[in-house]
Chains A and B, each alone.
Chain A
Amino acid sequence: MASTPVPAAAGLLTCAGLGKRFGTHVAVADLDLTLQPGEFVCLLGPSGCGKSTLLRLIAGFETPSAGTIRLGGTDITADPPHRRPVNMMFQSYALFPHMSVAANIAYGLSGLGRAARQARVDELLRLVRLDGFGPRRPDTLSGGQRQRVALARALARAPQVLLLDEPLGALDRALREETQGELRALQRRLGTNFIVVTHDPAEALALADRIGVMEAGRLVQIGDGASLYERPANRFVAGLLGDVNLIPGRVLGREAGGLAGLDTALGPLRALGAAEGEGIIALRPERIALARAPSGDGPALPGQVVETTYLGDRIRLRVRLADGSIWRVSAPAEEACPGVGESVHLSYPPERAWLMPAAA
C-alpha cells in the first residue's frame, strides 16, 4: 500500500505510444510525451480533444488500450490509481462534502501518525493561505477557497506529478488571473511536475514552461509558448494561439538563409520553414507593415482598407488584397492610420513569416 507519502524528488514521466479508445471512438492516439523534472506542462485543446482522457490515463482512472506510462523509470501502466505517486486536482474539486477541510486534506495522509498528520495539514493550509479553515465544511467556502482546499489535498502526499484538470475553470475572471500567478509561484517553489489541462490559450501561455497542443486525440505540437506562436506545426496550432493570416502556396525553391520562395495567388512570397510542396504561410497581424506608398525596399502588396477597429493600444485593420483575400493587420495606435477605403501597401519581413506544410 502506498499510503506513506513519497519524497518530493522530481520524477520523470514518460508516455510512449499511448492510446485509448472507447468502443469505436479514439480518445487518445499514439501519444508520446516526456516530462523533464520540475516542469510545468499545459495540455491545450478544445473539448473532446483527449486532453482530459490523457490526464485520467496518467492518474490511472482509465486503462490505456495501447502504450506504456513510466514514472522515474518504473512502468506504472498497470498500477491502480491508489498505488501511483501521482495526484490529481479535479475540475469539480471533488471535495468530500461530509468531511471538514482538515479531514479532506488529511485523507491521503493515513500512513502518518496523528501528530505528523496534523502538522502536515497545518503546513498545507498555510501554503494555500487558509489558516484556521480546518474545521470548516467545504460547502461553507467560496469557490476560490474550495479550489485552494482541493489544491492542498492534492499536494498533501507530495506527489511526483500533480495533474490539474481545468484548475481555474470554475473561477471568475479576476480571480483566475490572480490564481494563475499563485499556481505558477507554488509550482516553482515546490519543484513538483505540474500537468495542467486547459482549453484557454491565454491561461496555457501564462502558466506553462511547455504547451502541448492536442487535436483529435493527438499531440500535434509541444514546445514553449514562443515556438508555438512563431513556428506552429499546422493551421490549427497557428489559429489557436492568436490571430493569423494563412496564405496557401507552392514551394518553388530556397534561398541562402533557408528562406523558401512560394508561388501564391498574390504572386511570389517568401517565408521561413522546412515544408516542401504545398504549403501555408502563417503571418501574424502585428508583423505586417502598413504604408500609403510602396517603399523602396522589398515587394509591397497593394490593398484596400475595408475595416478599422480602434483597440486603445493598437488598431486592428482588415485589408482586401489583389486576389480578394482579406488580411488582418495590427498597427500601433500612435501612427496616423489609413482610413476605410484608402489604398495601402503591405509588406512583412519574410523571416518572421512561417511556412507550414499544407497537409498537417
Chain B
Amino acid sequence: MRALDRIALSLGLGFLYAPILILVIYSFNASALVTVWGGFSTRWYGVLLADVPLREAARVSLVVAFAAAGVATVFGTLAALALDRGGRFAGRRVFTGLIYAPLVMPEVITGLSLLLLFVGFGLDRGLLTLVIAHATLGLGFVAVIVGARLRGLDRSLEEAAADLGAHPARVFATVTLPLIAPSLAAAFLLAFTLSLDDLVLASFVSGPGATTLPMRLYSQVRLGVNPEINAASTLLVGTVTAIVLTASWLTGRRGVA
C-alpha cells in the first residue's frame, strides 16, 4: 500500500515537473540544437544577458508586476475589509461572488473585455493598460488571501484597542494592519507572480513598446526554440518559485494563517 502510494506520488510529481526539469537541464546545453545534448555550459545565459530586446522585455515585466501587484494589494485589501467588516449590507453575497468570479473567469474573456473597455475609453495600449489588466487579475486573489486572514483575526483585539481609547484609524494602524501584514505581503507576492507569468491578458492589452517577457519568449518560440529561451525560462521559473515559496512561508507562519 505504502509502495503504491509512493509510485502514485512519483508519477504525479513527474508528470508535473519532468517537462520543467528537462527545460532547466537543456538551458545548460552547450549545443545550439535544443534536442541534442552537447555537454554542460552556461553560454546561453551569456547570450541571454547580451540580448537587449529580451532584457527590455524583462524590465517591462518587472515594472508592470510591481505596479499591478501594488494596486491589486491596495484595492483587494479594501474589498476584503469591506466584505468582512461591512456588516450585513444589502447584496454582500453578490459582491463576494463578484470578487471571486475573476479567479475562475477564462483569461481570454477577461482580456477581450478589457481590450474593449480600453478601446471604448480611447486609452492607448501600453504600460498603463497592462498594469490595469494585471491589477484586475490579482485583485481577486488578494481579496481571498487577506479576507481569510481577517476572518481568522480575533475581533476582541480590535475591540480591546478601541476600549483603551484608540479611535478607529489608530485601531487599524496599530492593531489590524500589523496583524494582517504577513497576508498582505503574501498577497502582493502572489499578484506579482500572476502578472509576471501572464501571457494571455498581456497579448490583448499590451501595445508597442510594452512587450512583456512571456510575450517576447512566446514570439521567439514561434520562430523556433533555441537554448537561450530555455535559459530565460529557467530564470523565470526560478524567480516565480522563490516568490511562491516566500508567500506560502508568510501565510503559513504561526499566528498568520
Q: Which residues of A line the B interface, CB within 8 A?
A: 1-3, 59-61, 80-82, 86-88, 90-92, 94, 96-98, 107-108, 110-111, 139, 153-154, 156-157
Contact = CB atoms under 8 A, between A and B. Distances in A.
A82 B167 contact: yes
Contact of B165 (A97, A110, A139): A110
Identify whether the interface residues of B are mostly helix, strand, loop, or mixed: helix
B165 A88 contact: no
Nearest to B166: A82
Interface residues of B, number: 18
B153 to A, nearest CB: 11
Given A97-B179, A97-B255, A98-B179, A156 B164 contact: yes
Contacts of B159: 59, 61, 81, 88, 90, 94
B157 interface: yes
A87 B164 contact: yes
A96 B175 contact: yes
A86 B159 CA distance: 13
A107 B161 contact: yes
A221 B174 CA distance: 42
Contacts of B166: 82, 107-108, 110
Contacts of B178: 98
B164 A157 contact: yes
B32 interface: no
A3 B160 contact: no
Contacts of A139: 255
B156 interface: yes
The majority secondary structure among interface residues of chain A is: loop
B165 A94 contact: no
Contact of A82 (B154, B156, B163, B179): B163
A90 B156 CA distance: 7
A83 to B, nearest CB: 8
A99 to B, nearest CB: 9
B33 to A, nearest CB: 56
A158 to B, nearest CB: 12
A92 B154 contact: yes
A90 B162 contact: no
Nearest to A111: B165
- Of all A-B residue pairs in the complex, the 3 with the closest CB atoms, nearest first, are A108-B164, A94-B160, A94-B156
Interface string B142-168: 000000000000101101111111110
A97 B167 CA distance: 20
Given A90-B156, A90-B159, A92-B156, A82 B165 contact: yes
A94 B157 contact: yes
22 contacts: A59-B159, A59-B163, A81-B163, A82-B162, A82-B167, A86-B163, A88-B159, A88-B160, A91-B156, A92-B154, A92-B156, A94-B154, A94-B159, A97-B179, A97-B255, A107-B164, A108-B165, A108-B166, A110-B166, A139-B255, A154-B163, A157-B164
A246 B165 CA distance: 49
B245 to A, nearest CB: 24
Contacts of B161: 96, 107
Interface string B172-190: 0011001100000000000
B157 A81 contact: no
A97 B175 CA distance: 9
A22 B171 CA distance: 25
B179 A153 contact: no
A107 B161 CA distance: 8
Point out which of A59, A61, A94, A153 has the most chain B C-beta atoms below 10 A from its C-beta: A94
A80 B154 contact: no
Given A87-B163, A90-B156, 9 more contacts: A1-B167, A90-B160, A96-B160, A96-B161, A98-B178, A108-B166, A110-B170, A153-B164, A157-B165
Contacts of A92: 154, 156
Nearest to B171: A82
A93 B167 CA distance: 20
Contacts of B165: 1-3, 82, 108, 110-111, 157
